[in-house]
A = this chain, B = another copy of it.
Amino acid sequence: MTIDTALSELETLLGKRLSRSKSDLDLHGASETHFAPAPPDAVAYPENTEEVSQIVKICAAHGVPVIGWGTGTSLEGHALAIKGGVTVDFQRMNKVLAVNAEDMDVVVQPGVTRQELNEELRATGLFFPVDPGANASIGGMASTRASGTTAVRYGTMRDNVMALEVVLADGRIIRTGSRARKTSAGYDLTGLFVGSEGTLGLITELTLKLRGQPEAISSAVCSFPAIGDAVNAVIATIQMGIPMARIEFVDALTAKAFNDYADAGFPEVPHLMVEFHGSDEGVKEQAERFGEIVHEFNGSDFRWSAKTEDRNKLWAMRHNAYYACVAIRPGAEVVVTDICVPISRLAEAVEETAADIAASSIPGPIVGHVGDGNFHSSLLVERGNAEEMAEAKRLAARMAERALRLGGTVTGEHGIGMGKLDYMQAEHGDGWAVMSELKRTLDPQNLMNPGKMVRMN
């Protein structure tokens, strides 16, 4: 068997760092959302780029798929081995290779998580700002073009990855970009690989931009009588140019979930949770200006705090929103949605979505990185209930159609994986065909994370 030959060669290369244990295969065949398990034939744990290249070459020689794996926190089934093959788990490639404090950049291996990285950076006065909530690996975050709560201020992975080392489908190792802050030297290969979900190659090293830790940070939370008021307050805030570090929306159902899960004591109405970064004076001024906007849009319960423990509690709660929401319906399967629209269309997008969910048979709390025009609903489906699953998928499809109708995108930050493949043609038209042509060029055998992002047949 071809796969057996490949696995035997890989075992020679990696020894015990090639795993075929059932528990390992099951772990790497599962995802956090509703997709059916799809375990690989083996899991490889490389320790350096050269090994990754060898793994890819062996797999290429035998026609075996290769799937990258960070921490397994993706939401659209990105890392499922739906055609079998070898999952490359980067957990042993988790080093911070160089902190260039003067240049405010850092060189890391893909397996380091964002929290590990920021822990290592703490003493330097610098930090890596992209924060998708989950403690994801940097390689995974780059591969899905992750963003999250801080993108409104600091941008997404697209904006914060300066350079990459990539192993291509034929095992070639290339470097893209450099540590220079800008370049006009050739096609933007860094940008091409960021967000490519492992379908064009495996990222084995990343150079990231860092930011100075703010002199002062404060946070605030406030409530609104209706979704439209909260969203319109966000729009006004962005348009006034207040440099919000975070501006997050949660709906009434999520507020209730926070109360049940974390004893939050929130009124069960829509809320905004915000954070300000700057000087002591600047943070205060931002909070005051934001407070005026809140008032103008009928907000209340405006609670402002410069205390670290209050802030940590607030964002821990926000980061656990997914789990708090799932706890509304214990054991539920989750269809997670993720659309992003121009901010002028945000209020109608959220309101239409909320009305659509309210008219359905299943709960779907809404949260969002609304400063970017991006929001999610976690549609909670009774496990094994095919009718509800179909209803959830109809709701998700209508959200995607709504995003496109309003000039937006079917995914702001979760990516395509398997879950959003059906919308690629509608969003990109012939552009999707161009993506397939690029994929075919760089991965003619369709072995790099096959079945995700593009269709090859």
Contact = CB atoms under 8 A, between A and B. Distances in A.
A185 interface: yes
A430 B342 contact: no
A93 to B, nearest CB: 21
A16 interface: no
A235 B104 CA distance: 11
Interface string A393-429: 0000000000100011111111110001001100111
Given A187-B196, A192-B191, A192-B192, A182 B412 contact: yes
A415 B411 CA distance: 32
Nearest to A404: B178
A172 B430 contact: yes
Contacts of A144: 184
A307 interface: no
A110 interface: no
A415 B183 CA distance: 8
Interface string A154-197: 00101100000000100011111011111111111101101110
Given A174-B429, A192-B192, A340 B407 contact: no
Contact of A179 (B168, B408, B430): B408
B431 A174 contact: yes
Contact of A428 (B186, B191, B440): B186
A159 B154 CA distance: 12
A192 B434 CA distance: 11
A373 interface: yes
A185 B341 contact: no
B407 A178 contact: yes
A310 interface: no
Contact of A420 (B145, B176, B185, B440): B185
A437 interface: yes
Interface in A184-237: 184-189, 191-192, 194-196, 200, 212, 235
Nearest to A338: B184
Contacts of A134: none
Contacts of A333: none
Copies of this protein in the assembly total 2
A442 interface: yes
Contacts of A438: 187, 438, 441
Interface residues of A, number: 81
A435 interface: yes
A409 to B, nearest CB: 4
Interface string A432-453: 1011011011100000000001
A309 interface: no
Contacts of A183: 145, 340, 409, 411-412
Of A185, A414, A442, chain B has the most CB atoms within 10 Å of the CB of: A185
A136 to B, nearest CB: 13
A372 interface: yes
A103 interface: yes
B373 A415 contact: no
Interface of A: 100, 102-105, 144-147, 151, 156, 158-159, 168, 172-176, 178-189, 191-192, 194-196, 200, 212, 235, 238-239, 241, 282, 338, 340-344, 372-374, 403, 407-416, 420, 423-424, 427-432, 434-435, 437-438, 440-442, 453-454
6 closest Cβ pairs, A-B complex = A191-B191, A102-B344, A183-B409, A180-B408, A180-B340, A184-B415
12 contacts: A102-B342, A102-B344, A180-B340, A181-B340, A181-B373, A181-B374, A183-B412, A184-B195, A185-B424, A187-B200, A187-B453, A189-B434
Given A178-B409, A184-B195, 19 more contacts: A100-B342, A102-B239, A147-B184, A159-B159, A172-B430, A174-B431, A175-B429, A179-B407, A180-B372, A180-B374, A181-B342, A181-B374, A182-B409, A184-B409, A184-B413, A185-B409, A185-B427, A434-B442, A437-B441
